[in-house]
Structure 1
Amino acid sequence: MQIKASQKSKLLPQVGRSIILGEDKIALFLLSDGSIAAIEDHCPLTGGPVLEGIVSDHFLYEPMREYKISLLTGDIQPPDEGHMRIYPVTIIDDDVYIEVEG
């Protein structure tokens, strides 16, 4: 099910925006190439939010330990291990829709 999450024009480049859709807390990021990434806003390694992390290209550097997370796959990059849930994003006009289970 797709749910409208935001408007693209309201997102700042490489700055996270937190949204809550049902049970899911999600961090949205407008990337430097104009695409939008949506990832769960809960780190499996630290238990903290990732919203405040630093974005570089298609990677997010977790704010507490600075490990690297792919915003395309959700994979935590070596030497760390783990995976975070990513959400498919569709943009229609200026509206950002996120695919959630439901």
Structure 2
Amino acid sequence: MTASGGAVSVRLGPVEQIPVGEGRAFLVGDEPVAVFRPRSGGLFALRAVCPHRGGPLADGLVDAELVMCPLHNHQFRLADGACTSGGDVADVAAYTATDDDGELVVDLVAPRA
């Protein structure tokens, strides 16, 4: 883990551990993080727990822009974590995920002291 400019960068292993079109869950410190690798390309990271009833977002269906919670079908934008399915469901935190020469790197916002 490295800290820089208010963010904590965490190396989570090879990008290839996440099959294209799927997501995988990681525990980064105390933070559950889901990283997605949609078929359209890119890497996206969201808080791994649906705020509605705690569904595992990493197990949800993924398309080019959204992940759907497997429990109650609430949808969240991969780019920013916004809930797009309406209702009174909160957004989820979104993090930066990058491919650093084949290694998955996620940047989390460092907690305030």
Q: TM-score, normalised by structure 1?
A: 0.90
Whether 1:72 aligns to 2:79 is yes
Whether 1:60 aligns to 2:60 is no
Q: TM-score, normalised by structure 2?
A: 0.82
- Structure richer in strand, relative to its length: 2
* Count of equivalent residues: 102
Q: After superposition, what is the alpha-carbon deviation per residue over 1:45-84, rounded to whole angstroms, capped at 9, x for unaligned?
A: 1122212110011100111111211010100014234210
- The equivalent residue for 2:101 is 93
Structure 1 residues 5-44: aligned runs within 5 Å = 5-44=12-51
Q: CA RMSD in A?
A: 1.4
CA drift at 1:90: 2.2
Larger radius of gyration, structure 1 or 2?
A: 2
> Is there any run of 5+ residues in structure 1 with no aligned partner, and where?
none
> Is there any run of 5+ residues in structure 2 with no aligned partner, and where?
1-7
Most deviating of 53-62 and 75-84: 75-84
- Identity across aligned pairs (percent)? 20
> SS of the residue aligned with 2:94?
coil
